Chain A
C-alpha cells in the first residue's frame, strides 16, 4: 500500500517560488493500479517524480507499507516518457540495468530475462541498440526492465503517448498481461481518458486551478476481458470526459 499524505511540492526557479500543488492525499492498495489523469500543468508528472524519489524536496509524507519512501530502501521502477533506455547499451544490457543497479551482488537470472522478453514479444532483439528499434519495441524493452526488477512500486509517465493508436493498444494489452502476472503497485500518468479507464483500477482526476485532486473513481470494469469493445467502457469514458470538460473549464 502506498499512502500519500498532505503532499505539497514547491518549485523555485530564479528566486521565485510557486506551488505545483498543495495537500494531495491518496491511498493506493498493494497489487493495484492507479491512473492519474489531468491537463498539462496539473502537476501530474511532478507527483510521479515525488513518488520516484527524484524530487525529494516536498512537504507531507509518502510511505510504502508504512515505511517512508526511499529509492535505496524500496525498489521503484520508473518509466519516463521517452522510455529512458540508454542508447549505448543493447537491449539485453538495458533490460538488466535496473536489477544490476539495485542488487549489485545478485547474478542476473538469464532465464527470467528470456521469459519476460518472450512475453513482451521482443525475443531475438537482445543485441540491438535502442535506436535500431521502433518506438513500440523501445517501450517493450522499458517494460521488461521494470518488470524484471519486481518493483514495490512501478511508475509510468505517459508511457504510451508517443505511440500510434494501434501500437498503443497492443502494448497496453502486453502490459496488462504482464501486470496480471506480477501485480506490482502501479501508478501511471496519462492524458488519454481511454488509457486511464483501461489501465487504472483507481482513476484520479486532477485539475489545474487550484491544483488538486478533483475526483477519485474506483474503476469497476478494470481487467475485464475485451472490455475495450463493450458498452460499459464507452459509458465510463464518456462520463469521465463530461466530468473533465466541466471540471477543467470551470477553473
Chain B
C-alpha cells in the first residue's frame, strides 16, 4: 500500500517528532509531559487489553459517519452539479446551513437520538456531508461541455453519463474533501465521545485524564492519531488507484 520511499519518510518523521517530544519532556520535567518511551512502554502493555476495544468503537463511528455522508452527499452533489435546476433550488439551502457550527447542535442531537451510537455518527455525518456535496458539485461543474457532446450524440442516458463521466470526474475532488473532512471528524469524534459513552478513544483519553494517569492519556492520543493516519493513507491509496489518470 505504501511505497518504500514514503514508508521511510514516515519512519524518519516519527523519529523526529519523538525526538522533539523527548527533548521537551526532559527540559520541562513535568508529570503532564511524560517521556515518549515511557508512554510507548505503557501503550504496548495495555493496548490489547484496554485500548483496542475503544479504538474499534472510534473507527466504526468514523467509517459509519463517512459512509452515510457519501451515500447522501454524492447523489446530491451530482444532481446539483449536473442539473442547474437542482443547484438553483438547493444551493441556498446548503450555503445557509453549511456555516452553522454543527457541534453546537450536539445537545439537540443527543436529545433526539439518544446518547448512544446514533448521535455520534450523525454528528460526523453532518460535518462531512456538506464538504462532500460542495466538492462533488464543483468537480462536476468544472467538466468542459464538449466532453458530453460525443455521448449526447450517441443518445447516452443519464446513467451512461454518470458512469462514464460524472463519477470519474468528481472523484479527485471528492477524495480531497474526504481527506480534509477526516481531520475534522476525528476532532469531532473525540468531543462527542466524551459525552455519555463508555467506549471510544475520546472516552478513554478523558477518563485517563480524570484519573490523572498521563501515561494512559498519551497512549490514547497516540492511538487516536494513528487511526487518523491510517485513514489518511487509505484515502491516498484510493486516490492513486482510482485517479491514476491524474498522475500520468
Contacts and interface: CB of A to CB of B under 8 A. Distances in A.
Interface stretch (B87-95, B164-172, B194-202): B164-172
A78 B153 contact: yes
A217 interface: no
B248 A132 contact: yes
A154 B180 CA distance: 45
Chief secondary structure at chain B's binding surface: helix
Contacts of B150: 77-80, 84, 98, 145
Interface string A78-104: 111110101111100000011001100
A70 B155 contact: yes
Chief secondary structure at chain A's binding surface: loop
B147 interface: yes
Nearest to B247: A129
B161 to A, nearest CB: 9
A18 to B, nearest CB: 20
B149 A131 contact: no
Nearest to B156: A101
A53 B152 contact: yes
A203 interface: no
A217 to B, nearest CB: 27
A71 B153 contact: yes
A131 B248 contact: yes
Given A81-B146, A86-B168, A101 B153 contact: no
B164 A86 contact: yes
A74 B29 CA distance: 80
Best-buried of B150, B171, B248 by chain A (most CB within 10 Å): B150
A87 B172 CA distance: 12
